[in-house]
Structure 1
Amino acid sequence: MFTNPNCKPDQVSPLHLFMALYREALTNAATLLAGKRGEEAAEDLLDQLRLDSRPTRRAIRIASDLLDVLSLRHVDDLERPEATYFARIDPADPWIEDVCCLTEFLAEALARTLSDDDPGIRTAA
């Protein structure tokens, strides 16, 4: 996944590890919940994380935006596409539980990446 020679497995962030494990699931969930915009955000996050072993502020912002999508944060805003995608969801669909787990995993990876225990977010945008 990470072709940058500066990205060594023991030096990547929790966000990198999350994407290594759940890239396809994140892309699928983001697409289901936000359409093309969600899909592009997931791909953009992957591209950003490929640049270095430390996430940039832009990567953190994209991950936060994706967490908002997975958390259904904007489904009540009728001006946003998430509202339309949310209206099409059947709560009984089996993938709903998977999205809930994925949301928790992304939230944890993002929190750990931002924590004091995980030194250094790249300051370059």
Structure 2
Amino acid sequence: MHTSPSPAVQALFLFLSENNEGLQNAALVLGGGKALNRVQHLLDHLGAARQLTRRARLDLVALHELFTLKYVGDPLRLETALFAEIDPMDPMVEEICLLTDRLEDHMRAIDAASDLPVFDFDIAA
């Protein structure tokens, strides 16, 4: 029997659906073509599967890490070079920040509604 996603997971799916263009643009700007492909796969997968699979959880964590600039500063990472090209005054910066905050809010809501953490955010972070 197939169970429907929890309200927190449904809210995440709605957020991803409503913001899919912005999420793709942000992924491309911050992580290049590989990050864009990963986000497109995530959006396609969630649209078809309508459940939070292990792969989707991993992709969401990777997206969150990209948006929170986890790898910026490592000179060997593409993210560092791409970030250096962004004009801090570009309106896209504010949109990326808002998307990041909302994505994290949805991920934390899923964790709060679950018996075991799904995304397991580090409390110290």
Q: TM-score, normalised by structure 2?
A: 0.79
1:90 to 2:87 alignment? yes
Q: Is the CA contact 2:17–2:43 (under 8 Å) kept in the aligned structure 1?
A: no
Matched with 2:42 is 45
Matched with 2:104 is 107
Matched with 1:78 is 75
When the two chains are superposed, the root-mean-square deviation of aligned CA atoms in Å is 2.5
Q: Is the CA contact 1:75–1:86 (under 8 Å) kept in the aligned structure 2?
A: yes
Answer 1 or 2: which has greater helix percent: 2
- Extract unaligned runs of 5+ from structure 2: 119-125
Secondary structure of 1:85 counterpart: helix
Superposed, 1:8-87 pairs within 5 Å as 13-87=10-84
Question: For residue 36 of structure 2, what is the amino acid of its counterpart?
Answer: E
Aligned partners of 1:11, 1:35: CA distance in 2, in Å? 29
Q: TM-score, normalised by structure 1?
A: 0.79
> Comparing 47-56 with 23-32, which one deviates more in the overlay?
47-56
Identity of aligned residues (%): 33
- Extract unaligned runs of 5+ from structure 1: 1-5
Q: Is the CA contact 2:8–2:109 (under 8 Å) kept in the aligned structure 1?
A: no
Q: Residues 3-54 of structure 1, C-alpha deviation per residue, up to 9 Å, x if partnerless?
A: xxx879x795232111111111000000011110121111011122123332
Aligned partners of 1:76, 1:11: CA distance in 2, in Å? 33
